Every structure is written in structure tokens, then in C-alpha cells.
Amino acid sequence: MVSYSGYSPSRPGRVLSSEIEPFCEIYPILCNAPDDPSNMIAALIGFATIGVNMRGTGCSDGGYDYFEEVQLLDGYDVIEIVGRQPWVKNNKVGMVGISFPGISQLFVASQRPPHLGAIAPQSVIADSATSCLLPGGIYNDGFAQTWHDMVLYAALPYHHGWVRDVIDAGDELCDRHQKMHLQQRDAIAEGLKYPYYTDEVAMPMDPSAWVDKIQVPVFMTGQWHDEQTGPHFAALMDKFTGSPSAHFTVTNGFHNDSASPQSLIEWMKFLYLFVSKEKVSIPDDVRGLGPMFMEQVFGAQIQFPKSDIEDNADTYEEALAMWNARPPVKVIFETGAAPKTPAAAPAGTFDFRFDEWPLPGTEVARWYLGPNATLNRQAPDAMGGFSSFAHDAAAGHKVILSSGDVYRNPPNWNWGQPAFGTSVEFLTEPLDQDTVMGGHGSADLWIRTDATDADLEVTVTEVRADGKESYVQAGWLRASHRALRADATELRPIKSHRFDDVSLLTPGEWTPIRLEIMPFTHIFRAGSRIRVIIDTPGDSMTRWKFRLVEFETPPTIDIGHDADHPSSIALPLVPGVQIPTTQPACTSLRGQPCRDYQAITPPIQ
């Protein structure tokens, strides 16, 4: 297995902890552990692993640049060199990794190295710009900036202590390579210099434009509330058309939840079947060690679930046939609420498989915004009027995690109540039955303002019958970026983000816009109401922040809801899912903060 990134995958192995040291006789890798957790887990189940630092990082030569072409060619060479080694079974190499080493797999696999056998990207982006750097055309100077600066700083000469240790131990080549690291390039500066989508600059950084070139089996995981790379990974799930086998596991939750047992069990099966090409056989000792590792990562002991293929297939051929016969999209519902597991730990209550993404049979459920904070099935009449809120210049840098680690169970949420004057809300009547939703959504709004641009956020929540309110998903848009691509759909208003399509607002005139609500899966329970909040971007993510349009005087933004300006919300209704569970505790759903529901009302004078 190859892990390829700008972190420290090539760092020499070390003892993980004194608690684990007693197990090193059984699993020597625990006392010679690679720096990449995916490689370590792969080693525990019997795979040889290779950690490679991208050029300009670690002990590699060259200058670091975010996925430049030569970095892809380096990855091609790595796969070909490793694949030709006599100890590589079938002379086929797999790639593994979460986040950076997950994203790198997409780029390398697109080059089609002949000795690449399969890839298992986890917690990745669909497009470097719209997935994370410029969601909705608004610069994310929270996580995107922090991550970039961290990688760039870590690529400076002699930054890592382990690099200095390697050099002190006599590695002259590593020492010489440090001299070239100052040639690194600032990708954020480059991105802000080219803030619009172009075929020359943006497309090479946009996996959704070219993952169809990948011709090996793919297993991908992702979480709808990923605080780092975001939920937009789903935009890839119908794009792997060149792969002979593309399978996915998705759920609510955070970035590192791709390393939870419910996702790793599928990941392990995939590696056995498509890299080593042998019957699935997860060692009992690994299952036994699993809860201890999970407690270190997630603060809770979580058992590995049973493996249907492992338990029911006697041969490799039978196991492969079982894998191929299963619908490829596995949705895990209500992660955090699993029985017999600590609350908010990454384990779901049940899962359901679908044949494809977007989920087959999805229906467009549309509600129209109306007066008096209502969401109605019927379009508004001529007297429907409009609602207004003021741009909040301070919102962009508000986050919903007040302090501490997002992986604390539960996190120290600080999900602020929407305020009168800077937010508007709309609610449905109580639902008459449990309702499953899954996919992208679209807020189709008529807006009016005295400014020439506006930054908008739409948040969807569930207001439960018990008076609690659970976060579901959000979306963002800079109004001047409202132009749609030709492949936009009723549920996914894909934007072009091209310079020639940018269009400022005409002050005082009504303008239709379509804002993309990021993908999600969620069960709205009978008796709950769907709430839609419209305001200024911010206070909706744990680590994303937004660099908003600046105004001398904050403008007011009107949202139309009359016959001539019928704003509406289109959400993805998924019929046919049997729900075997009751509504989980509001604080348990992973990645979905909960609060008491409070209507937006004027302050008491």
C-alpha cells in the first residue's frame, strides 16, 4: 500500500505508545509504526506499506506546489517502481489515506500507472475551489487557509524534527534536498489571483472534471459534516465512469470518521478483494485491538461490526461475487446514536444500500416560502410579500465550536441562535410521517438589495416535536456567482464560477438566484418541522470561515415570497427506506449540533 502526501508518510517508524508496546511481539508494526494511520492499519491486516513524501516535503527534493503536474508524474513513478518489486503480490499496488493522502490518490490514479491495482480515497474533495477554498464563490479563510499555511510551513527546510534526526543520523541526501524546499509556491495566493474557474488553472485542480479517467477499482468514504474538506465529495460519486468497480460509504459525521470501524470494515474488505485479491480474513487480534485504537482516536471503545462477506464466503471468488452483487452506495444513518455505544461516537443505527448516486427514485420535495415564517406546499399568492434581513459583517468568522476538539463526545458546541434583524426563518407544518432525505438541495430565491452583490447562507434544520432543533445542512453563495452550468439540475444548481458569467446585482431590482444546499442524508421524524434559515454566511461550520463582501453600510436583503417572486426550497425525498429506529437523542447525532428551538422574534424593548 502506498500513502503519498505532503505530511510525514516517510517518517521512520516508531513505537506508538507504551500501552501498545506489549502487543509488538504479535504485531511488530506497532513498534515500527508508519506516520500514516491508513498504512498502519493496512500493515496490521497483512499488507506491506510504503510512505512517500511529495516533492518539496520531508526528505524529498524539489519545491512543494499544490498538485502540480510533476507531482502527479512523481506519483506515477512511485507506483511503477513499487509495483515492479518481487515482493508485491500480483505486481499490483493499492493506494490508501484519509484527506491529503486520500486526495492525492485521485490525481495519481488519473495518470493511469499500469501497476496501480486499486485506490481507497477517504474524506476527500470534489473540486479544490468550490469544495473548500471558495464554497459558493466565497473565500474560506478558515480551514482552507489554515491547512494551506500548515503544509507550506511544514515544507520549509529542516522544519520537521524527524527530518533533522534523519540528517543527524547521516542521511546526506535528505540534507541536500532541504536546500530546494525554498522553491515552494503559495497556492492560496495563486488561487486568489485566479478566483474564477478556468480550464487552464482550475480544471487541473478539479477532480470532478477528470476522475472518469481512473480505470481501477475505487472505494471512497465521506461524511456530511466534514469540518475540513466539507461535504462536497458526493459530487464525485457519479463521475467514476471509467472504474470497473466504484463503491462508497457515506454518513453524517466528521473528517476523521472515515477511520471509524463502520467505514474501515468496508475498506478492509475492499483491500483484500481488489489489491491482494484474496478471501477476506480480518485477523481476530486486529478486531480485539480495534476498540483500544478507537478509544485513542474517538474517545470511545467501538467494536468492529461483523463482516457479511467474511462470514459467508468460503473462497475469494465467492467473496468477490458477493461484493459485486451488493448495491455500491452504502448510506449509514444516524451515526452517533448506535445502541450499546457511547453517545456521539462514530457508529450508526442502521444502513441502507442504493444502486447509484444521486439516489435512485429521489423525488423533488418543494416548499414555498411564505409570510409569517411559513414553508408551504402551495405557491404564494399576490399578497405574500417579502422578508428582510441585514448583512452581518461579523458573521463570517463565527464558528459553531466554542472551544476544544471536534472529536470530543459530544463537542463543546456553540451553535448560536439566529437573531432578529440579521436572519429570517421559514417552517413547515409538522410532518405526518417519518421522511428520509438524501442528496443535494436547492434554495431557489428571489432577492432584492440596494447593493451590487450579496453573500447568502441557507441552513436546513429539524425542529423536533420535543422542542429541540438539530442541524442538518447548509449552503452558501455569492450572488454575483449565480450563473448555472449546463449540467445543473432541479436539486443541484451547479455554478460555472467563470469570469464571463459573473453578474452583479442591479440595486433595487428583484433577481432570481439558486443556492446549492450541500449534500446530506437525514431522517426527519413524524411530528418534526423543517426549518430554513437565511442569513449571512458564518456560524454554520466548525472550522470554515468566510471572507465576506465588504460594505461601508451593511445592506438589507429582501427575500420575496409573493406570486411574482415565489422563493422555494427543493429537498431530496428518498422513498422506500424502511426505518427500524426511533428518533435518537438530539445531542447524539455526530456532526449535527442541537439546541432548544427559539423562533426569531423582536427583542423585548
Give 29-59 pLDDT, tens digit per residue.
Answer: 888 999 999 999 999 999 999 999 999 999 9
- Residue 413 neighbours by CB under 8 Å, 6+ apart: 400, 401, 402, 593, 594, 595
**Length of the chain measured in residues:** 605
Query: DSSP character for 274?
Result: I
Do the Cβ atoms of 476 and 455 come closer than 8 Å? Answer: yes
The whole-model pTM stands at 0.96
Cell numbers given for 303: 467494536
CATH C-level class of 363-596: mainly beta
Tell me the angle at which helices 100-109 and 69-83 cross, rounded to the nearest 10 degrees. Answer: 80
pLDDT of 605 over the 70 cut: no
Percentage above 70 pLDDT, the chain: 100
Specify the 3-state DSSP secondary structure of 86: coil
| Residue type for position 97 | G
Tell me the angle at which helices 261-271 and 37-44 cross, rounded to the nearest 10 degrees. Answer: 60
**Res 551: pLDDT:** 96
Q: State how far the Cα of 322 lies from the Cα of 59, in Å rounded to an integer.
A: 43
Helix residue ranges per DSSP H, 169-253: 172-178, 187-193
Which candidate, 345, 339, 251, places its Cα nearest to that of 291?
345
Question: How confident is residue 27, by pLDDT bands cut at 50, 70 and 90?
Answer: confident
What region does 28 belong to: left with phi over 0, alpha with psi -120 to 50, or beta?
A: alpha
Do the Cβ atoms of 587 and 375 come closer than 8 Å? Answer: no
pLDDT of 19 over the 80 cut: no
pLDDT of 122 over the 90 cut: yes
Cell numbers given for 153: 510551513
Cell numbers given for 366: 418543494
Percentage above 90 pLDDT, the chain: 86
Q: State how far the Cα of 41 lies from the Cα of 534, in Å rounded to an integer.
A: 43
Which residue is listed with cell 449534500? 519
**Res 195: pLDDT:** 85
Average pLDDT of the chain, as a whole number: 95
Residue 115, Cβ neighbours under 10 Å: how many? 18
Cell numbers given for 24: 509488538
- Residue 233 neighbours by CB under 8 Å, 6+ apart: 123, 124, 125, 126, 131, 220, 222, 226
Q: Which pairing describes strands 468-478 and 2-5: parallel, antiparallel, or unpaired?
A: unpaired
Which residue is listed with cell 426511533? 582
Residue 306, Cβ neighbours under 10 Å: how many? 9
Q: What residue ranges of the chain are covered by domains with CATH 2.60.120.260?
A: 363-596
Mean per-residue pLDDT, 300-310:
90
Do the Cβ atoms of 520 and 231 come closer than 8 Å? Answer: yes
pLDDT of 161 over the 90 cut: yes
Q: What residue ranges of the chain are covered by domains with CATH 3.40.50?
A: 2-281
pLDDT in tens, 376-422: 999 999 999 999 999 999 999 999 998 888 888 889 999 999 999 99
Please state which of the ranges 110-124, 178-192, 269-283, 486-500 shows the lowest mean pLDDT: 178-192
Which candidate, 441, 456, 520, 571, places its Cα nearest to that of 226?
520
pLDDT of 285 over the 90 cut: no
Domain 2-281 bears CATH identifier 3.40.50: yes
Query: DSSP character for 484?
Result: B
Q: State how far the Cα of 326 lies from the Cα of 264, in Å rounded to an integer.
A: 17
Helix residue ranges per DSSP H, 84-142: 100-109
pLDDT of 81 over the 90 cut: yes
Q: State how far the Cα of 275 lies from the Cα of 270, in Å rounded to an integer.
A: 8
Q: State how far the Cα of 473 lies from the Cα of 521, in Å rounded to an integer.
A: 9
**Res 26: pLDDT:** 82
Helix residue ranges per DSSP H, 84-120: 100-109
**Res 442: pLDDT:** 98
Q: State how far the Cα of 416 lies from the Cα of 531, in Å rounded to an integer.
A: 15
Higher-confidence position of 376 and 131: 376
Give, for 285, the enclosing helix (H) or strand (E): helix 284-298
- CA–CA distance from 581 to each of 126, 176, 575 (Å)? 32, 60, 16
pLDDT of 118 over the 80 cut: yes
Do the Cβ atoms of 414 and 404 come closer than 8 Å? Answer: no
Q: State how far the Cα of 8 lies from the Cα of 33, in Å rounded to an integer.
A: 12
Write phi, then psi, for 321 (nearest 5 degrees). Answer: -65, -40
